Structure 1
Amino acid sequence: MKTRKAAAKRMTLTASGKIKRRKCGLTHLQSKRSSRTQDRNNDASQSVAKSDYRAARRMMPHA
């Protein structure tokens, strides 16, 4: 099976088996948001939801 490169570039597999991903909407247009919102979004990584985990693992079989 081939790895889907687009998915592999956006997600990483942790040592415990979870898949980490970035939050969306944080690349630009941040000046209109409050500093409190920006601070909350600084931790921009989240783990993939349980419902999406199986699909994400199928996209990255060799990760």
Structure 2
Amino acid sequence: MIKVSRVDAKSCLEGLPWVQVICNKGEVDQPCWLACQQRHGLTVKAYCDNPDPDFPRYFCYCTWPC
């Protein structure tokens, strides 16, 4: 897990570095969606991002209502 924190007053964020993700302009593939849904329910949103431009790897992230 990368971190769980409050994004704003209504949503939380978690990174799932163990989930292999194929990222297409922020859109994720099915394994990321499924992992986020299993951990946080059907109201979750999934996206991908590269937090470090010097490290060429994308990570799966989940956001959900806190």
What TM-score do you get using the length of structure 2 for normalisation?
0.31
Greater C-alpha Rg: 1
TM-score by length of 1: 0.32
Larger relative helix fraction: 1
